[in-house]
């Protein structure tokens, strides 16, 4: 069965600092990987996704993620965080079926 682990429940960073959110997955074949963001009171919005090709994926709002097969990871990064990035971030894995499994989320707080 496929699964996703986001080991950090909460992360606090200063505005302007770099950010890395961790995601580890379990999947029997080549995974399709996603990062979604949820602003307070809103639905989820796709930041980026990986399904093949270049293992470094660029997304919206200046985010990027790197797929590392050897580590079963798909960590999300941003070089300089803005106050508007405060939200909850979800990693997800899918592939070969219509179902996607979401992680439990990492809540990001940005301090001035």
Partner 1 sequence: NAGVTQTPKFRVLKTGQSMTLLCAQDMNHEYMYWYRQDPGMGLRLIHYSVGEGTTAKGEVPDGYNVSRLKKQNFLLGLESAAPSQTSVYFCASSMRREYADTQYFGPGTRLTVL
DSSP the chain: --EEE---SEEEEETTS-EEE--EEE-SSS-EEEEEEE-TTS-EEEEEEESSS-SEEE-GGG-EEEEEGGGTEEEEEESS--GGG-EEEEEEEE-SSS-EEE---EEEEEE-
Instruction: Please report whether residue 98 would count as binding partner 1 according to CB under 8 A.
Output: yes
Instruction: Please report whether residue 104 would count as binding partner 1 according to CB under 8 A.
Output: yes
The single residue among 17, 46, 56, 111 that binds partner 1, judged by CB under 8 A, is 46
Instruction: Please report whether residue 59 would count as binding partner 1 according to CB under 8 A.
Output: no
Tell me which residues touch partner 1 (CB under 8 A).
Answer: 9, 32, 34, 36, 41-46, 49-51, 90, 94-100, 102-105
């Amino acid at each position: 069965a496929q699964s996703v682990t986001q080991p950090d429940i909460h992360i606090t960073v200063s505005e302007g600092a770099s950010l890395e959110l961790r995601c580890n997955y379990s999947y029997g074949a080549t995974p399709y990987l996603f990062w979604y963001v949820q602003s307070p009171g809103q639905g989820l919005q796709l930041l980026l996704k990986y399904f093949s090709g270049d293992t470094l994926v660029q997304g919206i709002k200046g985010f990027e993620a790197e797929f590392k097969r050897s580590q079963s990871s798909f960590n999300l990064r941003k070089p300089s965080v803005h106050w508007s990035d405060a939200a909850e971030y979800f990693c997800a894995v899918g592939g070969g079926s219509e179902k996607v499994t979401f992680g439990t989320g990492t809540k990001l707080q940005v301090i001035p």
